[in-house]
């Protein structure tokens, strides 16, 4: 998405002010004029200055660049679903891999993504299963990464 500089500026300004406000609660070290707040505080001041400059330049260019502007891919359902599948598959992994298990979540996520990316159904299922097994074998067996078993815990080996 194309976002006007001024919109970024406002968001960054809010972030800068929030950081500056938050660091006031950091402890001061007695007898010293430096503390944990000094560095993030100075950065926040820099951020606020940059944000103001962005707002000015964004407002100046507003005639040419609207506040928000969609990119060509956002009007194509194929690309939108590819993007959504990518994000949702990763989110699903974060939320469910521990409880449900790698060997179930990974191939389902892969199938969803492959189909959204335009791979044929049959191919997608085969690739997802083989891909999951190869990655599982490489990381779980060879590199000994404890990929979660989830509901398959009873069959763990």
Binding site for other proteins (CB under 8 A): 1-3, 5, 8, 12, 15, 19, 22-23, 26-27, 29, 32-36, 38-40, 43-44, 46-47, 50-51, 53-54, 57, 71-73, 76, 79, 82-83, 85-87, 89-91, 93-94, 97-98, 102, 106, 109-110, 113-114, 117-119, 123, 127, 131-132, 135, 139, 143, 145-147
- Least Cβ distance, residue 134 to other proteins (angstroms): 9
Tell me the C-alpha distance between 13 and 52, whole Å.
7
Tell me the C-alpha distance between 106 and 129, whole Å.
9
Task: Identify whether the C-beta of residue 113 lies closer than 8 Å to the C-beta of residue 86.
Answer: yes
**Residue among 33 and 64 whose Cβ is closer to other proteins:** 33
Task: Identify whether the C-beta of residue 80 lies closer than 8 Å to the C-beta of residue 31.
Answer: no
* Paired residues of 2 in beta bridges: 69
């Amino acid at each position: 998405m194309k976002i006007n500089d001024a919109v970024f500026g406002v968001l960054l300004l809010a972030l800068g002010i929030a950081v500056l406000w938050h660091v006031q609660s950091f402890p001061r070290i007695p007898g010293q004029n430096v503390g944990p707040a000094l560095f993030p505080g100075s950065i926040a001041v820099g951020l606020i200055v940059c944000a103001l400059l962005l707002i000015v330049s964004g407002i100046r260019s507003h005639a040419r660049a609207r506040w928000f502007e969609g990119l060509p891919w956002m009007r194509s359902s194929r690309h939108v679903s590819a993007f959504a599948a990518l994000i949702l598959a990763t989110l699903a992994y974060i939320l469910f891999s521990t409880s449900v298990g790698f060997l179930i979540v990974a191939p389902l996520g892969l199938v969803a993504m492959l189909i959204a990316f335009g791979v044929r159904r049959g191919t997608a299922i085969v690739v997802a299963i083989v891909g999951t097994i190869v990655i599982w074998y490489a990381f779980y067996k060879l590199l000994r990464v404890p990929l979660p078993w989830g509901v398959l815990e009873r069959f763990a080996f």
